[in-house]
Amino acid sequence: MTHSQTQVFHHGIAAPLLRPNIDTDAIIPSREISRVSKKGLGESMFAGWRYLSTRVSTQGREPDPNFILNREAYQGTSILLAGDNFGCGSSREHAVWALKDFGIRAILAPSFGGIFFNNCALNGILAIELEEAEIQRLADWVQVDPRANLLQIDLAAQQILWREGEKTGFAIEPARRGLLLEGLDSIAATLRQEDAIAAFEKTDRERRPWVYQVPND
Partner 1 sequence: MDPAGPEPRSRRLEATDMPATLFEKLWNLHEIADLGDRDCLIHIDRIFLHERTGSIALRSLEQEGRRVRAPHRVFCTMDHIVDTRPGRGDISLAPHGREFIEATRQSARRAGIHLFDIDDPRQGISHVVAAENGIVLPGMSAVCPDSHTCTLGALGALAWGIGSTEAEHALATSCLRASRPRAMRVNFMGETAPGVTAKDMILHLIASFGSRSGRGYAVEFAGPAVSALSMDGRFTLCNMAVEMGAFTGMIAPDERTIAYVQNTALAPRGPLAEQAEFHWRQLRSDTGAEFDLELEIDCARIAPAVTWGTNPEQMANIGGKVPSPDAFEDPQKSLAASHALDYMGLKPGTPLDSIRIDAAFLGSCTNNRISDLRAAANYLRNRKIAPWVQALCVPGSGAVKREAEAEGLHEIFRNAGFEWREAGCSLCFHAGGESFGGKRVISSTNRNFQGRQGPGARTHLASPLTVAASACRGYISAAEAS
- Which of helix, strand or coil describes residue 200? helix
Residues 207, 24 contacting (CB under 8 angstroms): no
Beta bridge partners of 88: 23
Exposure on the CB side of residue 175, measured as CA atoms within 13 A = 5
| By CB under 8 A, residue 1 contacts partner 1 | yes
User: What minimum distance in Å lies between the beta carbon of 148 and partner 1?
Assistant: 27
Residues 107, 8 contacting (CB under 8 angstroms): no
Total chain residues near partner 1 (CB under 8 A): 66
Identify which range of 64-72, 140-148, 161-169, 204-212 contacts partner 1 by CB under 8 A: 204-212
Q: How far apart are CA 173 and CA 189, in angstroms?
A: 18
Task: Enumerate residues 127-166 that contact partner 1 by CB under 8 A.
Answer: 132
Q: Judged by CB under 8 A, which of 8, 9, 40, 54 binds partner 1?
A: 54
Is residue 104 classed exposed, middle or buried when 0-12, 13-18 and 19+ CB atoms within 10 A define those classes? buried
Task: Give Cβ neighbours of residue 112 (< 8 Å, ≥ 6 apart).
Answer: 85, 86, 87, 88, 120, 127, 129
Q: Judged by CB under 8 A, which of 44, 77, 119, 168 binds partner 1?
A: 119
Q: Judged by CB under 8 A, which of 7, 12, 38, 163 binds partner 1?
A: 38
Q: Judged by CB under 8 A, which of 7, 11, 12, 25 binds partner 1?
A: 25
Task: Enumerate residues 64-83 that contact partner 1 by CB under 8 A.
Answer: 83
Exposure on the CB side of residue 197, measured as CA atoms within 13 A = 6
Closest CB to partner 1 among residues 13, 127: 127
| By CB under 8 A, residue 113 contacts partner 1 | yes
**Residues lying near partner 1 in the complex (CB under 8 A):** 1, 18-21, 23, 25-26, 29-38, 48, 54, 83-85, 88-93, 96, 111, 113-115, 118-119, 122-123, 132, 173-175, 186-187, 190-191, 193-194, 196-197, 200-201, 203-204, 206-217
